[in-house]
RNA sequence: GCGGGAGUGGCGGAAUGGAAGACGCGCUGGCUUUAGGUGCCAGUGCCUUCGGGCGUGCGGGUUCAAGUCCCGCCUCCCGCACCA
């Protein structure tokens, strides 16, 4: 396994050697023939074998095989070494799940991350670009169940395969920092983190409704519910009430929201918006209603306290405790029970269907409107959610569509209290939510919305009946899973002492061997059956107690892994504070938009908790975020059922690593989806061979003085350096590649029909191409560098300094327009004066012809680029 | 429904308010050479009476000048979706 041979991934070399001998003669013959002319080089990865590579033949496979061991030896991307005084920069790619070999999506993501990391190195930074594996979790466990093997075996075998693939893909990772979240050395600190939160009341247990698959008899994570169906068996998912562990992320809702100001412009707008919506802060008021026949009043939350006079009924969430209590013993008891059962059994699919009919049960109880004493019928309905606000609402049908739909279904009264000028909701069926003058609202009459809200909120507060309030859509983070392959929750349940933390010196609580355990999902954790493991003495009283048998959501593992990378081998602390201070926050985070909410929100939350405990000195973990798009094929996501899966290993075998990487980077803006069908890895390969050929054509010694070199080519070289640098810094990688291509074309032209191969400017251009290509096509770059007479690694060669004097043009083209249309082009000095340019323009043939005798009204001059002549 | 983003050649895509289509793919022709591929050169938005005209989803507007800015639509993609 360690050498990368894997049943899923036949090595490209193997595929090639079969017919190698048969091709050898033909290849050698062709090579001899081609060597006769300087430009007849070939590039054909699929039909080459290493034995016959020739000076004029770019043998991709041979080049890959040549440099990998050299790089292994040199470890050019090792970071944070003693005495390294380069400034530090932390570039992070989201770490993978070890599910099978790397696929096209990984190929894109890691190619992009590599551009950023390698550019940092060339710019002289000590770049930390670590990698690890998010190796706990359901994919491994399910695969292990399906194959009847230990999840450990499956996981670590896959890691070995992926690791070797990353090596061959020439990812610029610091291999000394590798971590796996399923190692006890890692998850020990997961448990430490859990206890940190537990001791501060930020980790707690509560009963709540969770996703439940009736077929598999298991709790499902939100991510496992796809379109309302269980992702594995396609059974409609329902809800079940279970006691689960939560992290109190809601305590941080405001800060998660407010701190986004730091990320504005640095993170994709889309992600910030998604997080904002997910947190969903809304501002309104709590209002207290007396319930007839109940001692304690009930509070509701509303964003429209101004419409209080329009409340005509009252609704409680059908599945809430309050509803059950209000129904108990009443005339609607039986009807209510039936209704709740129906609601509970309802699948998400039903709940998701839009414009479904409103349902509910009148409980024959009444609430009293605090402002006018009106008796309001209390209904139980499923359109009110138990876990938002207070699980009960005042219904204002005139000004809320949902309430109006409900009122019309059950014939409840509609009272308009805001005159918006629109048709009466009672007759139109359309609730009016806009602004307008208050009516039927006592002292509020005549006020506008904002004023009315302020007035009524103040009044309610004065009378002790309510107050301004804020609510969030964000719910606490459910972190427990009834599964085997995860971090055991370090809690011991003692009949006498309750929930007791496992003492720090007893960490890690290691996962018991899977052998003998039934891992199949059954609604409770498989760990419950590991009797020797479960039964322990209570750390507090010494009495018989049981371990918590749940494991943690893997999002806990990934919520802090970026901290572990600074000191992955430390066994006394989760992370070295001094090193964290040196390296973090992460300068650039690269990963898929799939994690726009969950992972990124959790990581932000945990960072803030650690900050509050004085363990880190910052509040946001990731300064900049780049979300790459997906790799699709023929217009849709790759899937086996569609039969459009492109195998990365196949593409690498056909085109070579560099060509695949370059294709990914050149395809378009990194955040856009790339359709592999629209792209040409073959074209990329052709370009790389063209670039490589330059290095063989150069006919001047290394270190030749370039100052006397061809100024035209030198200018092209320095312009490329300048523009590629800026394009990379702004993530316009596709443009950066285009600029490198332009330089290659310019150098080709200089060699063939310009200054010739002996001019040192050609060497300068070729060397610059090699350095720039080291970001995108490391093998080709290294090979060029070597052929140009340099020692490896080109990746550490350093970005050449741009000579600003070479960015200045000798002459520029001035565009001359008449009435905005281009009529002439003048070649002028870049320092031409406005008056001189105006003269030249007015005297040009194109202008005279276009004016055709007409008078000139105005002349706009923007020297040296543009003149616009406006006729009278 | 709410929120976000995007509409540019045959295709992927370029373009600080100042030459629309960089770079590449594909295609056409030529040269070299050949079994084929590779390589090199030229061309390639549409129309044209060869002067030029028209072109960045549609309709307006601002400006000497709009793919770019403003207003109103249309279409597509993504996210959230009974959150009171």
Q: Which residue is nearest to nucleotide B13 (CA to C1')?
A: A668
Highest mean pLDDT: which of A460-464, A830-834, A856-860? A460-464
In this predicted structure, the answer to whether residue A53 has a pLDDT above a threshold of 70 is no
- Three-class SS state of A503: coil
Q: Could you count the other beta carbons within 10 Å of the beta carbon of residue A83?
A: 4
In A200-303, where does DSSP find H-type helix? 253-258, 269-279
Nucleotides of strand B within 7 Å of the protein's CB atoms: 3-5, 11-16, 18-20, 22-26, 32-41, 51-54, 64-66, 78-84
| Percent of chain A at pLDDT exceeding 90 | 64
Pairing state of beta strands A126-128 and A88-93? Answer: parallel
pLDDT at res. A740: 96
pLDDT band at A822 (very low <50, low <70, confident <90, very high): confident
| Distance B60 C1' – A819 CA (angstroms) | 21
| Distance B33 C1' – A497 CA (angstroms) | 88
In whole angstroms, give the CA distance from residue A787 to residue A58.
12
| Distance B53 C1' – A629 CA (angstroms) | 41
Select the more confidently predicted residue: A768 or A863.
A768
| Percent of chain A at pLDDT exceeding 70 | 90
Q: H or E stretch including A283?
A: strand A282-291
Structure tokens at A764: 């300068």
Decide: A358 and A383 in contact? Cβ < 8 Å: yes
Enumerate the β-bridge partners of residue A226.
Answer: A229
**Residues counted in chain A:** 872
Which nucleotide is closest to the Cα of A749 by its C1'?
B40
For residues A156-183, average pLDDT: 96
Which nucleotide is closest to the Cα of A820 by its C1'?
B65
Which nucleotide is closest to the Cα of A386 by its C1'?
B83
Select the more confidently predicted residue: A175 or A59.
A175
Structure tokens at A78: 């090792």
Enumerate the β-bridge partners of residue A813.
Answer: A827
Enumerate the β-bridge partners of residue A247.
Answer: A203, A477
Tens of pLDDT, residue by residue over A202-258, are: 999 988 777 777 777 767 666 566 666 666 667 777 777 788 899 999 999 999 999
Which nucleotide is closest to the Cα of A686 by its C1'?
B38
Nearest to A564 by CA among A156, A73, A188: A188
What crossing angle do the helices spanning A151-168 and A60-74 adopt, rounded to 10°?
110
| Distance B80 C1' – A277 CA (angstroms) | 7
Buried b (16+ CB within 10 A) or exposed e, A102-136: bbbbbbbbbbbbbbbbbbbbbbebbbbbbbbbbbb
ipTM of the complex as predicted: 0.94
For residues A3-11, average pLDDT: 30
- Three-class SS state of A176: helix
| Distance B34 C1' – A202 CA (angstroms) | 75
- Three-class SS state of A743: helix
In this structure, what are the phi and psi dihedrals at residue A204, rounded to the nearest 5 degrees? -150, 165
In whole angstroms, give the CA distance from residue A645 to residue A636.
10
Q: Which residue is nearest to nucleotide B25 (CA to C1')?
A: A680
Tens of pLDDT, residue by residue over A85-115, are: 999 999 999 999 998 899 999 999 999 999 9
| Distance B30 C1' – A28 CA (angstroms) | 29
| Distance B84 C1' – A394 CA (angstroms) | 8
pLDDT at res. A809: 85
| Distance B60 C1' – A431 CA (angstroms) | 33
In whole angstroms, give the CA distance from residue A768 to residue A265.
32
Which nucleotide is closest to the Cα of A43 by its C1'?
B38
Which nucleotide is closest to the Cα of A38 by its C1'?
B39
DSSP A89-153: EEEEEPPPP-SSS--HHHHHHHHHHHHHHHHHHHTT-EEE---EE---SHHHHHHHHHHTS-HHH
* Cα dihedral A331→A336→A337→A343 (10° resolution): 180
Which nucleotide is closest to the Cα of A740 by its C1'?
B23
Which nucleotide is closest to the Cα of A690 by its C1'?
B39
Contacts of residues A636-640 at CB distance under 8 Å and 24 or more positions apart, as own/partner, are A638/A103, A638/A104
Buried b (16+ CB within 10 A) or exposed e, A611-620: beeebbeebb
Tens of pLDDT, residue by residue over A623-650, are: 999 999 999 988 888 888 788 889 999 9
Q: Which residue is nearest to nucleotide B51 (CA to C1')?
A: A849
pLDDT at res. A456: 94
Decide: A437 and A419 in contact? Cβ < 8 Å: yes
pLDDT at res. A3: 29
Q: H or E stretch including A313?
A: strand A313-317
- Three-class SS state of A396: coil
Pairing state of beta strands A498-501 and A491-494? Answer: antiparallel
In this predicted structure, the answer to whether residue A759 has a pLDDT above a threshold of 50 is yes
Q: What is the mean pLDDT of chain A?
A: 87
With tokens 């870049």, the residue in question is: A830
In this predicted structure, the answer to whether residue A82 has a pLDDT above a threshold of 50 is yes
| Distance B50 C1' – A813 CA (angstroms) | 25
Tens of pLDDT, residue by residue over A19-47, are: 233 223 333 333 332 332 222 233 333 33
pLDDT band at A148 (very low <50, low <70, confident <90, very high): confident
Q: Give the distance, in angstroms, between the CA of residue A304 and the centroid of all CA atoms in the same chain.
A: 36
- Three-class SS state of A708: coil
* Cα dihedral A677→A683→A689→A694 (10° resolution): -140
| Distance B55 C1' – A856 CA (angstroms) | 28
Beta strands in A495-557, from DSSP E residues, in sequence order = 498-501, 535-537, 544-547, 551-552
| Distance B67 C1' – A71 CA (angstroms) | 46
In whole angstroms, give the CA distance from residue A165 to residue A180.
17
| Distance B58 C1' – A788 CA (angstroms) | 56
Q: Which residue is nearest to nucleotide B19 (CA to C1')?
A: A815
pLDDT at res. A224: 63
Nearest to A813 by CA among A791, A830, A799, A796: A830
In whole angstroms, give the CA distance from residue A184 to residue A90.
25
What crossing angle do the helices spanning A151-168 and A138-147 adopt, rounded to 10°?
120
Which nucleotide is closest to the Cα of A596 by its C1'?
B79
Select the more confidently predicted residue: A3 or A640.
A640
- Provide the 8-state DSSP code for A751: H
With tokens 């760990």, the residue in question is: A527
In whole angstroms, give the CA distance from residue A349 to residue A238.
9
| Distance B15 C1' – A833 CA (angstroms) | 26
């Amino acid at each position: 396994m360690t050498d990368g041979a894997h049943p899923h991934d036949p090595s490209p070399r193997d595929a090639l050697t079969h017919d190698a001998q048969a091709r050898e003669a033909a290849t050698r013959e062709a090579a001899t023939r081609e060597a006769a002319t300087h430009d007849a080089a070939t590039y054909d990865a699929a039909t080459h074998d290493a034995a016959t590579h020739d000076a004029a033949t770019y043998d991709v496979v041979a080049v890959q095989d040549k440099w990998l061991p050299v790089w292994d030896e040199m470890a050019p991307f090792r970071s944070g070494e003693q005495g390294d005084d380069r400034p530090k920069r932390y570039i992070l790619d989201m770490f993978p799940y070890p599910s099978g070999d790397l696929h096209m999506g990984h190929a894109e993501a890691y190619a992009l991350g590599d551009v950023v990391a390698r550019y940092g190195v060339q710019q002289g930074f000590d770049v930390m670009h670590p990698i690890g594996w998010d190796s706990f979790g359901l994919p491994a466990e399910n695969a292990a169940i399906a194959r009847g093997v230990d999840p450990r075996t499956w996981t670590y075998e896959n890691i070995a395969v992926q690791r070797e693939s990353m090596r061959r893909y020439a990812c610029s990772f610091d291999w000394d920092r590798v971590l796996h979240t399923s190692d006890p050395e890692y998850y020990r600190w997961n448990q430490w983190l859990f206890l940190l939160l537990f001791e501060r009341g930020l980790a707690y247990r509560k009963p709540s409704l969770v996703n439940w698959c009736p077929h598999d008899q298991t709790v499902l994570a939100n991510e496992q519910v796809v379109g309302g169906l269980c992702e594995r068996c396609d059974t409609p998912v329902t809800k079940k009430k279970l006691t689960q562990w939560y992290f109190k992320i809601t305590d941080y809702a405001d800060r998660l929201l407010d701190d986004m100001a730091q990320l504005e412009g640095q993170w994709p707008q889309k992600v910030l918006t998604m997080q904002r919506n997910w947190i969903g802060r809304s501002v309104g008021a709590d209002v207290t209603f007396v319930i007839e026949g109940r001692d304690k009043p009930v509070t509701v939350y509303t964003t429209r306290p101004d419409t209080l006079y329009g409340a005509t009924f009252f609704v409680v969430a059908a599945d809430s405790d309050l509803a059950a209590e209000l129904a108990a013993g009443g005339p609607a008891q039986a009807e209510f029970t039936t209704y709740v059962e129906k609601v509970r059994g309802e699948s998400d699919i039903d709940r998701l269907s839009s414009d479904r009919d409103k349902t509910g049960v009148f409980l024959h109880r009444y609430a009293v409107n605090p402002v006018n004493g009106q008796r309001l019928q209390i209904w139980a309905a499923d359109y009110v959610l138990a876990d938002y606000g207070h699980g009960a609402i005042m219904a204002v049908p005139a000004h809320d569509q949902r309430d109006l739909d409900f009122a019309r279904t059950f014939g409840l009264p509609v009272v308009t209290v805001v005159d918006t000028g629109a048709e009466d909701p009672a007759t139109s069926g359309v609730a009016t939510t806009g602004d307008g003058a208050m009516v039927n609202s006592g002292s509020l009459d005549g006020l506008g919305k904002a004023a009315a809200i302020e007035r009524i909120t103040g009044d309610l507060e004065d009378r002790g009946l309510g107050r301004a309030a804020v609510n969030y859509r964000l719910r606490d983070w459910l972190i427990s899973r009834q599964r085997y392959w995860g971090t055991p929750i370090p809690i011991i349940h003692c009949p006498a002492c309750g929930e007791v933390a496992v003492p720090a010196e007893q960490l890690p609580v290691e996962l018991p061997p899977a052998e003998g355990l039934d891992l199949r999902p059954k609604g409770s954790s498989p760990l419950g059956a590991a009797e020797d493991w479960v039964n322990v003495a209570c750390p507090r009283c010494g009495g018989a107690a049981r371990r918590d048998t749940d494991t943690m959501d893997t999002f806990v593992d990934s919520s802090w892994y970026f901290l572990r990378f600074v000191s992955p081998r430390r066994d006394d602390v989760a992370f070295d504070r001094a090193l964290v201070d040196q390296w973090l926050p992460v300068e650039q985070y690269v990963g898929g938009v799939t994690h726009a909410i969950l992972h990124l929100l959790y990581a932000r939350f945990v960072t803030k908790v650690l900050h509050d405990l004085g363990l880190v000195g910052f509040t946001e973990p990731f300064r900049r975020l780049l979300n790459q798009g997906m790799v699709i094929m023929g217009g849709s996501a790759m899937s086996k059922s569609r039969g459009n899966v492109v195998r990365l290993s196949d593409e690498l075998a056909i085109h070579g690593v560099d060509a695949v990487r370059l294709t990914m980077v050149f395809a378009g803006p990194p955040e856009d989806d790339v359709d592999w069908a629209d792209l040409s890895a073959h074209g990329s390969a052709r370009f790389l061979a063209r670039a490589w050929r330059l290095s063989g054509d150069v006919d001047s010694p290394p270190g030749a003085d370039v100052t006397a070199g061809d100024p035209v080519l030198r200018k092209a070289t320095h312009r490329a350096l300048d523009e590629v640098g800026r394009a990379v810094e702004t993530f316009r990688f596709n443009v950066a590649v285009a600029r490198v291509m332009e330089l290659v074309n310019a150098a080709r032209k200089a060699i063939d029909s310009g200054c010739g191969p002996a001019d040192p400017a050609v060497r300068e251009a070729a060397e610059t191409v090699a350095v720039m290509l080291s970001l995108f096509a490391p093998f080709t770059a290294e090979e060029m560098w070597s052929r140009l007479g340099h020692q490896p690694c080109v990746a550490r060669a350093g970005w050449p300094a741009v000579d600003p004097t070479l960015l200045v043009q000798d002459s520029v083209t001035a565009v001359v327009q008449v009435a905005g249309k281009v009529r002439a082009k003048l070649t002028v000095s870049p320092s031409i004066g406005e008056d001189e340019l105006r003269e030249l323009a007015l005297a040009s043939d194109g202008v005279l012809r276009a004016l055709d005798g007409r008078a000139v009204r105005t002349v706009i001059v923007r020297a040296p680029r543009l003149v616009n002549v406006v006729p009278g």
